[in-house]
Amino acid sequence: MGSLLTLGDRVVVRAACWPTAALADFAAPDFAPPAGRHALHVPATFAHYEAAYATRLREQRRRLWARTREDAGFMRALALVNPGFCRAVAALHFEETPSKSTRHAETTLYRYLARAVGRTEPNGVWSGTALARWGERTRVVSRPARWAFAPELAPLQALAEARLSREPYRRAGHWRLNETLAPDAEGGWTYLARGPRGLARRRVRLAPQVGEALGALRGWGPATWGALLSQLASRTPAGTDVAALAEAFARGGLLLGGPRFPTRFVSAWDALRKVAARLSGPDARAWRRCVHRLGRLCRRLETRFEALEAEAVLAAHEAARECVRTLAAALGEPPPELPRAMLRCDLELPFDLELGPDVKAALGDSLEHHLGWMEDSGLLGRAHAATRAWLLPEGEGAPWAT
């Protein structure tokens, strides 16, 4: 039987960036209640145990603060992913008898420390990736880490699509009715629309005549903005401002099309450059100014990140947010919803990795075993069917099939 897979030339390696030793001594296996079913019911025994427990807990709390709040590298990483919590923690100090808010902060700090030690999914500088290659033997060579900073795209996408949906840009593309639009039992309409947090179901109530005009467009193919206005004008009462109506539909996600934020790009910066090419005049200049400022800000972070204090990272987030707010004003759009962290970072791990034949064989055997189990259990076929159903409309064949 032939192999079910062929390994590529490179392997993506993911690793957490904090050592396991950072958590190891938070356990206390040698500390246990006195033996015997009723031992803790003896007042003297319980008092002794309670005092020892409090002492051990205080030691571990001090250790937690030393490895989180008082560690510059940890606070820098925290500032990158959760600026608000970082500011709150920076204002706290160790308390022998902690308040409720301090206990909650310590719980969150421990969870972030555990994430930095135990999770390999890339997220800021808690963890990172490297490309390993196959070689004659397994070896690791240290080198400096590399950081790649970029702005969070969601608010910039919202601004771009809001501006591109209005004149003069909307006449450049084709438009269609949102295919998910459907009437509900209460006389309204429901549909799916993409927002800052992804797809969400929305509901609107429309005047009966407007609803009928909108319903008449269902199944109507993509058309230019002018043709769409003509269709709406023929289906609404005389005197209706169909241009304002269509614009409201487009901004609300009932109409889709026209120039859009790029869906294919090699990096965040590539996407932002493509948007600049779709804008014109003052809009394009304002967009390029914003991208230039964000680029300069990210380059400074990339070259100095390891030497920065958490306050400098927080200031960079705020500077990026201000860039977006300034761009919104220049485009004549309301400020978009801004994320908790305006800047993102991809970390390239500080080593070059070569994997030998023994690792390659072990990895291949493991993957073969896993795929074989999925095939035998029927999961592989179901995964293929689910992927096909998600990618293709019902009844259609793959567009690349012949």
The span from the CA of 348 to the CA of 141, in Å, is 14
39 plus 75 within the same structural domain: yes
The span from the CA of 311 to the CA of 293, in Å, is 19
Distance of CA 360 to the CA centre of its chain: 32
Is the pTM higher than 0.85? The answer reads no
Task: Check residue 148 and give its pLDDT.
Answer: 96
CA atoms within 13 A on the CB side of 92: 23
Please identify, among 297, 314, 347, the residue that sits at the C-terminal boundary of a domain: 347
Residue 3: inside a domain, yes or no? no
105 plus 155 within the same structural domain: no
19 plus 116 within the same structural domain: yes
325 plus 244 within the same structural domain: no
Residue 8: inside a domain, yes or no? no
Residue 342: inside a domain, yes or no? yes
Rounded to whole angstroms, what are the CA distances from 32 to 36, 148, 188, 206? 12, 47, 62, 67
pLDDT in tens, the chain (402 residues): 456 678 889 999 999 999 999 998 887 777 666 655 555 565 666 677 778 888 888 999 999 999 999 999 999 999 999 999 999 999 999 988 889 999 999 999 999 999 999 999 988 999 999 999 999 999 999 999 999 999 999 999 999 988 998 888 888 778 888 888 888 888 788 888 876 667 788 888 877 777 777 777 777 778 888 888 888 888 888 888 888 888 888 878 888 888 889 988 999 999 999 999 999 999 999 999 999 999 999 999 999 999 999 999 999 999 999 999 999 999 999 999 999 999 999 999 999 999 999 999 999 899 888 888 888 888 878 877 777 665 554 433 333 332
299 plus 155 within the same structural domain: yes
Q: Which residue segment(s) compose the domain that 219 sits in?
A: 174-257
Contact 236, 210 (CB under 8 A): yes
Looking up tokens 């192999």 gives: 3
Strands 182-183, 127-134: pairing is unpaired
The span from the CA of 246 to the CA of 336, in Å, is 21
Rounded to whole angstroms, what are the CA distances from 302 to 127, 133, 214, 297? 16, 26, 50, 9
Residue 129: inside a domain, yes or no? no
275 plus 155 within the same structural domain: yes
**Tokens coding 171:** 């006449």
54 plus 96 within the same structural domain: yes
188 plus 320 within the same structural domain: no
242 plus 276 within the same structural domain: no
Please choose, from the candidates 143, 149, 116, the residue with its C-alpha nearest in 3D space to the C-alpha of residue 130. Answer: 143
Question: For 140, phi and psi rounded to 5 degrees?
Answer: -125, 130
Sequence-separated (6 or more) residues with CB below 8 Å from residue 109:
64, 65, 68, 69, 89
Instruction: Kindly state the helix (H) or strand (E) to which residue 89 belongs, with its residue range.
Output: helix 83-90
Residue 36: inside a domain, yes or no? yes
Task: Check residue 396 and give its pLDDT.
Answer: 39
Q: What number of residues does the chain have?
A: 402
Residue 128: inside a domain, yes or no? no
Query: How many structural domains comprise the chain?
Result: 4
266 plus 153 within the same structural domain: yes
196 plus 338 within the same structural domain: no
Contact 355, 131 (CB under 8 A): no
Sequence-separated (6 or more) residues with CB below 8 Å from residue 215:
183
Please identify, among 222, 257, 292, the residue that sits at the C-terminal boundary of a domain: 257
Residue 395: inside a domain, yes or no? no
Residue 273: inside a domain, yes or no? yes
The partner residues of 190 in beta bridges, in order of sequence, read 182, 203
Please identify, among 213, 234, 257, the residue that sits at the C-terminal boundary of a domain: 257
290 plus 378 within the same structural domain: no
